[in-house]
Amino acid sequence: MAILTINWQPNKQVSTPIYQQITNYFQEQIAKGNWAVGAKLPAQRKLAEQFGMNRSTLITALDELMAVGLITSNPGSGMVISGNHWSSLLAEHVNWSQYVKAGQFKPNSHALQKINQFETDAVIRLSTGEPAPEQFPRPLFQRAFAHLGEQLTSLNYTEPAGILALRQQIARHLEKVGIHTHPENILITSGSLQALQLVSMSLFPKDATIYTEAPTYVKSLHVFQSAHTHLAGIPMDSQGLAYWQMNAPIQGHHAILYTIPTFNNPTGIVMSAERRQQVLQTAQEHRLPILEDAAYQDVWFDQQPPQPLKALDKTGNVIYFGSISKSLAPGLRIGWTVAAKPVIDRLTDVRMQTDYGASSLSQLVLAEILADPEYETYQADFRSVLVKKAAAAEQILHHYWDDFATWQTPTVAFICGSA
């Protein structure tokens, strides 16, 4: 079949993204029957030149069209109009792409979506920061399952805030970093990201200001943006958040500080003990709540980091997020939030309205593991292996990138650098 002749140009003066204009135009031509099934599209390079854009933007549009079955890619013949009768389907069925685009939750960038698609067990995923399979503590899990097998009577829904035995073990675990709390001040979540989502839904009014370190955890930004908040980045120095560069919150306007003081993601910076006191004092003076993300609290190398902000908090201003995703098993999907009782009650209520709680089996297993005396030994061994892996990674960087890149020797399981 002949190659299609396309006499059309995207309008670069309107707010609709170029890739979306292309998608809309292709859908319209196919729905009207103007482009026959099996018709070939011009080569990508030619289309990109005709539309006056780079190929990556064009590929974004073509990927979306392939995802909904409008075009297919045939080896040797390029892109062709699909043969699954989409011309009639588009006319008769709901245009779901319009609803997808109208959703309130912001999508990942196209690059991140592609990375997620290519994540398989055969690929070492540096972006997720998860423990290597060979470090999986099989004996800990075997003992936990064996003990559970003797006493397990059901896997029904758990208590709204999470299984009490697990919250008790987490409270005991947190004492080691100076946080003295009680089970009623702890909510079990599916990890720090869900905790952020719960807080955003439960405590943030629209147009609230969220102060964050610059840079910060990229996925947290999507949560905040989807909650229709205003983001205000605050620079960092080697000691952590440069709090004095933060504009004072407007009187009567809701604001909150989100920080990763222990091994900031992505820089790896550890906020000093003195800076933590200063940040906490500044927040208290402005009655500014703090969200402390401590996902990397247990993943230190030779020197334990300073106490969390929550350990220094005497007024209940800090909401603390913890997790075992980086130090034990992300597949358990277990994290915890520590906060004042009214906050926990509110988050628990919203949590029960959204997914009715974390996996009861995962909670029972983690409670057993945290109670196991060998868990401390596992953590020490885990950190010692990370030290060796970090040294090996840095050696590779020296070998291949010494001439055109710089980086910091890590004190946690990731390296921050620039080229």
Nearest to 292 by CA among 320, 327, 262: 320
Six token digits for residue 245: 């560069």
pLDDT in tens, the chain (419 residues): 678 889 999 999 998 899 999 999 998 888 777 888 888 999 998 999 999 888 888 999 998 888 878 888 877 778 888 855 544 454 555 666 677 777 777 777 777 777 777 777 777 777 777 888 899 999 999 999 999 988 888 888 889 999 999 999 999 999 999 999 999 999 999 988 899 999 999 998 888 999 999 998 877 888 888 888 889 999 999 999 999 998 877 666 789 999 999 999 888 899 999 999 999 999 999 899 999 999 999 988 888 999 999 999 999 999 999 999 999 999 999 999 999 999 999 999 999 998 888 999 999 999 999 999 999 999 999 999 989 988 898 999 999 998 888 888 876 655 555 44
List, in order, residues 6 or more apart from 222 with CB less than 8 Å away.
Answer: 105, 106, 108
- Domain of 232, in residue numbers: 125-373
77 shares its domain with 183: no
187 shares its domain with 320: yes
In a domain, 212, yes or no: yes
178 shares its domain with 315: yes
Choosing from 335, 352, 373, the residue where a domain stops is 373
Six token digits for residue 179: 């946080």
The count of structural domains within the chain is 2
Length of the chain as a residue count: 419
**DSSP code per residue over 133-158:** GGG--HHHHHHHHHHHHHH-------
CATH number, domain containing residue 74: 1.10.10.10
CATH number, domain containing residue 285: 3.40.640.10
CA dist 304 → 93, 263, 297, 373 (Å): 58, 11, 9, 20
CA distance 150 to 148: 5
